[in-house]
């Protein structure tokens, strides 16, 4: 069902948690649909210095959250915004068709966190 | 790693004694029961012996009341749709419950599309419907009541005897899906007062791909598949002889062991319920606290999602199941969990642990040791969790 | 006593290599393919491997085109009734032939009761229908053509490819019952030009209780049983994993051996036909003299009745079958024998001998030695016989 890469990120999720006084925070999903993702960021000189996630969801949801944090870590804001649902799924060597929507959440949560950061910057 | 199988409501291993009988009819005796020659007669004899074993186990008065099917699902289709089509002149109303397996509910949905009217009785917080609810739902158009004996997801046992009395008083045909109860609690068609009863081999240490329908003599019914005259014209297609032999043996063994297994497993069950509720905060027991299958334990853990829990337990060698939407790839969690009043969010965190005859005290210990850190870890990851 | 099984069109023994694969999924790997844990995933993998084996054997373009069923009969019900119900808006006319198995004919009868119109094409003396006959029967209401690939009773092979062309030209969905042809003659869904094809495990050295339906991508179709989402929502019910694994292995082996077995058995077949016709007067070969299954021999012996012949041969250790009315306890002899123009009286004396891969030259010798005195004895008893 799941690739080895998915199972690796599921069993050893990277960057679990919540950054206090985050520079940006984003939450997407809805608990009644079975999935929520929350991403918090620390940004320095336009570079994502730290990123953490919290997820309520299936194996794919946990793995995509973990993967998206790994992909975004150390990237510039512009580079991080290039991360798509598709690239997350590909980095995990694929997801079962029924689970593709979980990868949407991960990229969406990252985007939401970055937008929150940019909004705060402009405020 | 220790391997603990706790998913007996999904399917059971085949008992070695059942496998042994079955394998004879795969490797040695291969005749077609419809053949007149000695190869065929031998197969016919084996099929009729198994029919007797099933009839005896559920207290049917004659082997003519048992038809073999390819699954519990096919048996439910035959029972429900076979009665509905045959009694269409009499009425078009069917009563069932929100607790039913999709095998029953999907048949009812199809019948609705075909012009029947279906009343789906709501459940109380324990997953029960009452005979009173059934009595109140009956109209002069009611031709069938279909209420399951024991629920697969929350283990609750329905008051079938009382519902059977209501059915009889009102002269309405009554079917019970006994897939989860056979072999675990007493099942007797006369005591339960049912006209039809369906069961499945792979839930009672028999193989997958075999089931049976009991149909009381005189019940107005018609077949739903068409072909040769097998199974007394009730179910066409060459008989799954090895599967039938296995079902006969399996139901006989399950009935013999039932009392002792139920004693032992309900002890484990009560310990599991007590200790899990004590050890893990924000946990809800689902189903009835006492009136439940002896091997069945089910919870919802707040703030976590079932598939993740299931996968983490699997990595520890433990097989359980969950009614979470994510395990099935659908967007909706189990209809039974929402029908007993749980929010979708809570229903997502459901766990079902169903024990079997090979489980031991050590399996229980191991589970009680492994579960709390898994829940803790998932809660630590969850944005919903307070902690 | 020598035991000779010559009834492979009724059912076959399970090949030991097939049994070995199958038994692993009875004794060891018992997971439910719908379960997410490792027990379940292992079962799922086995089911999908078997699906690939079936797809490859019949030249399907994807495993999504294969659905497992519990028999050839269930597969025929799904194919015929599933197409009929799904295409009812388009039309209500179905074309089939008088040669079909009861699995197909009984479905068509049921559809007639439900308001469909069925044309049953007559057969020529060899049991053939032509593409021309099919073309002439098509109306603008025709939604389905169902013509079998090879006949079980007389062995005749139908011109499926030509009928497939007619079906395609007229944009009518085409199903063929390939239960008797798979593993004996080449079966490729693209070469045959079919939209649906059905087959059964126990005719190809697999177990009883498993079959499959091929359905070409894009074919308008709906399920005929209701329940869980198994088999890509085409056929609900927990999968018969062991049976599915066995069918995959069996069809793979049958395809590999097909050419060699056909060569050897058609040699026996031609010898049997020649010698029986020479040795026993008043004998009629039924079915096509050349265009027939390589393992299939069938006769009618005048003045005698099939069940008696069958029982006498059985006492000599030989298993054959007969289309006599008496073997089935019905009053009518085989509909196929009367459809090729035989009188009921002659049809009563039918014998079908179907060879299999374990039969040897010695089996043929033994049969040729045993048969004439049996026929003679029965004729001496018969008031119809001249002698
Ligand atoms: C209560 C209940 N009814 C029916 C079924 C269907 O039986 P089968 O799996 O044999 O199709 C099941 C098993 O999943 C069940 O638990
Ligand atoms: C031509 C044909 N079609 C269909 C069937 C039915 O298959 P099954 O025996 O698997 O139900 C048979 C076997 O009896 C057959 O010979
Ligand atoms: S979170 Fe529900 S399917 Fe992934
Ligand atoms: S003669 Fe007895 S059944 Fe035909």
Tokens 């076959």 appear where? C12
Helix axes C241-279, C38-58, angle to 10 degrees: 30
* Residue closest by Cα to atom 4 of ligand 4: C326
Architecture of the domain delimited by C16-253: 3-Layer(aba) Sandwich (3.40)
Q: How far is C44 from chain A (nearest CA, A)?
A: 9
Beta carbon of C198 within 6 Å of any ligand 2 atom: no
Task: Give contacts of C41 with chain A, Cβ < 8 Å.
Answer: 1
SS3 category, C165: helix
Nearest to B333 by CA among B319, B343, B321, B347: B347
Q: How far is A83 from chain C (nearest CA, A)?
A: 29
Among all residues of chain A, which has the CA nearest to that of C36? A1
Q: Do B381 and A58 touch (CB under 8 A)?
A: no
Q: What's the rounded mean pLDDT across residues A1-26?
A: 95
Q: Which fold has domain A4-117?
A: Sufe protein. Chain: A (3.90.1010)
Q: Do B103 and C227 touch (CB under 8 A)?
A: yes
- DSSP assignment of C39-106 equals HHHHHHHHHHHHHHHHHHHHT-S-GGGEEEESSHHHHHHHHHHHHHHHTTTT--EEEEETT--HHHHH
The reported pLDDT for the residue numbered B270 is 98
Interatomic CA distance for residues A13 and A16, integer angstroms: 7
Q: Who's near A15: CB < 8 A, 6+ residues apart?
A: A51, A52, A53, A66, A69, A70, A73
The reported pLDDT for the residue numbered B332 is 85
Tell me the CA–centroid distance for residue A108 and ligand 3, in Å: 14
> Other CB atoms closer than 10 Å to residue A90's CB: what's the count?
13
Q: What's the rounded mean pLDDT across residues A5-22?
A: 96
Interatomic CA distance for residues B380 and A18, integer angstroms: 10
Q: Which of C11, C225, C328 sits opposite B31 (nearest CB)?
A: C11
Q: Which atom of ligand 1 is the closest one to the Cα of B103? A: 4
Residue C387 pLDDT exceeds 60:
no
> Other CB atoms closer than 10 Å to residue B121's CB: what's the count?
20
Chain C: which residues have CB within 8 Å of chain A? 36, 41, 44
* Residue closest by Cα to atom 2 of ligand 3: B326
**Class at the top of the CATH hierarchy for domain B4-11+258-381:** alpha beta
Nearest to C363 by CA among C376, C350, C354: C354
Task: Give contacts of C22 with chain B, Cβ < 8 Å.
Answer: 26
Establish, for the pair of chains B and C, how many residue pairs have beta carbons separated by less than 8 Å. 223
| Res. C186 pLDDT band, cuts 50 70 90 | very high
* Residue closest by Cα to atom 16 of ligand 1: B152
The reported pLDDT for the residue numbered C332 is 87
Q: How far is C367 from chain B (nearest CA, A)?
A: 15
pLDDT digits (tens, 9 = 90+) for C91-126: 999 999 999 999 999 999 999 999 999 999 999 999
Strands C296-301 and C283-285: antiparallel
The reported pLDDT for the residue numbered B72 is 98
Q: Are B224 and B214 in contact (CB under 8 A)?
A: no
Q: What's the rounded mean pLDDT across residues C295-309?
A: 97
Q: Who's near B237: CB < 8 A, 6+ residues apart?
A: B225, B227, B228, B230, C70, C71, C72, C73, C74, C103, C211
Question: What percent of chain C is predicted at pLDDT more than 70?
Answer: 99
pLDDT digits (tens, 9 = 90+) for C42-79: 999 999 999 999 999 999 999 999 999 999 999 999 99
The reported pLDDT for the residue numbered C307 is 95
Beta carbon of C26 within 6 Å of any ligand 4 atom: no
pLDDT digits (tens, 9 = 90+) for C20-30: 999 999 999 99
The reported pLDDT for the residue numbered C35 is 95
Q: Do C32 and B7 touch (CB under 8 A)?
A: yes
Interatomic CA distance for residues C212 and C228, integer angstroms: 18
Q: What's the rounded mean pLDDT across residues A14-30?
A: 95
> Residue C170 class from Cβ within 10 Å (0-12 exposed, 13-18 middle, 19+ buried)?
middle
Beta carbon of B103 within 6 Å of any ligand 1 atom: yes
| Res. C144 pLDDT band, cuts 50 70 90 | very high
User: Splitting chain B (387 residues) into consecutive groups of 10 residues, what average pLDDT does each group show?
Assistant: 96 98 97 96 98 98 98 98 98 98 98 98 98 98 98 98 98 98 98 98 98 98 97 97 98 98 98 98 97 98 96 97 84 92 95 98 98 97 81
> Considering every ligand atom, which ligand is closest to the CA of C322?
4
Q: Which atom of ligand 2 is the closest one to the Cα of C10? A: 14
**Summary mean pLDDT of chain C:** 97
The reported pLDDT for the residue numbered C329 is 73
Residues of B serving a catalytic function are 326
Beta carbon of B150 within 6 Å of any ligand 1 atom: no
Interatomic CA distance for residues C239 and C243, integer angstroms: 9
> Considering every ligand atom, which ligand is closest to the CA of A61?
3
What is residue B7's DSSP assignment? B
Mutate to test the pocket of ligand 1, among B9, B203, B208 (most ligand atoms within 8 A of CB): B203
Locate the domains of chain B by residue range: 4-11+258-381, 16-253
Optimal mutation site among B282, B306, B310, B311, interface A, most CBs of chain A within 10 A: B311
């Amino acid at each position: 069902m799941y690739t080895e890469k998915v199972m690796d990120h599921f069993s050893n999720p990277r960057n679990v948690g919540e950054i206090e006084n985050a520079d940006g925070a984003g939450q997407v999903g809805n608990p009644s649909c079975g999935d929520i993702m929350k991403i918090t960021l620390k940004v320095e000189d336009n570079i994502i210095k730290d990123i953490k996630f919290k997820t309520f969801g299936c194996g794919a949801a946990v793995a995509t959250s973990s993967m998206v944090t790994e992909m975004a870590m150390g990237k510039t804001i512009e580079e991080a915004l290039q991360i798509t649902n598709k690239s997350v799924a590909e980095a995990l060597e694929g997801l079962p068709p029924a689970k593709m929507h979980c990868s949407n959440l991960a990229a969406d949560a990252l985007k939401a966190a970055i937008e929150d950061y940019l909004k705060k910057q402009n405020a | 790693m220790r391997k603990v199988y706790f998913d007996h409501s999904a399917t059971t291993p085949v008992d070695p004694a059942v496998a042994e009988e079955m394998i004879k009819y795969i490797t040695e005796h291969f005749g077609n029961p419809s053949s007149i020659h000695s190869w065929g007669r031998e197969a016919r004899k084996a099929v009729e012996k198994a029919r007797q074993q099933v009839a005896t186990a559920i207290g049917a008065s004659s082997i003519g009341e048992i038809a073999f099917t390819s699954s519990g699902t096919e048996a439910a289709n035959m029972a429900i749709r076979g009665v509905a089509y045959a009694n269409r002149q009499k009425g078009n109303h069917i009563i069932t419950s929100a607790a039913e397996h999709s095998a029953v509910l999907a048949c009812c949905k199809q019948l609705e599309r075909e012009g029947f009217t279906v009343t789906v009785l709501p459940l109380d917080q324990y997953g029960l419907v009452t005979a009173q609810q059934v009595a109140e739902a009956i109209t002069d158009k009611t031709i069938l009541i279909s209420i399951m004996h024991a629920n697969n997801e929350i283990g609750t046992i329905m008051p079938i005897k009382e519902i059977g009395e209501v059915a009889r008083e009102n002269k309405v045909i009554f079917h019970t899906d006994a897939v989860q109860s056979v072999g675990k609690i007493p099942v007797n068609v006369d005591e339960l007062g049912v006209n039809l009863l369906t069961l499945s081999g792979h839930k009672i240490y028999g193989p997958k791909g075999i089931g049976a329908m009991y149909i009381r003599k005189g019940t107005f019914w018609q077949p739903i598949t068409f072909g040769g005259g097998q199974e007394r014209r009730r179910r066409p297609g060459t008989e799954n002889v090895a599967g039938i032999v296995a079902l006969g043996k399996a139901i006989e063994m399950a009935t013999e062991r039932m009392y002792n297994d139920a004693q032992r497993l309900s002890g484990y069950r009560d310990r599991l319920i007590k200790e899990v509720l004590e050890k893990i905060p924000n946990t809800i027991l689902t189903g009835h606290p006492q009136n439940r299958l002896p091997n069945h334990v089910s919870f919802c853990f707040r703030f976590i999602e079932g598939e993740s829990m299931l996968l983490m337990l699997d990595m520890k060698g433990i097989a359980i199941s969950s009614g979470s939407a994510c395990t099935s790839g659908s967007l909706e969690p189990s209809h039974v969990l929402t029908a007993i009043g749980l929010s979708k969010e809570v229903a997502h965190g459901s766990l079902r642990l169903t024990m079997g005859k090979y489980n031991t005290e050590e399996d229980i210990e191991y589970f009680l040791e492994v579960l709390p850190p898994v829940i803790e870890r998932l809660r630590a990851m969850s944005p919903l969790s307070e902690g």
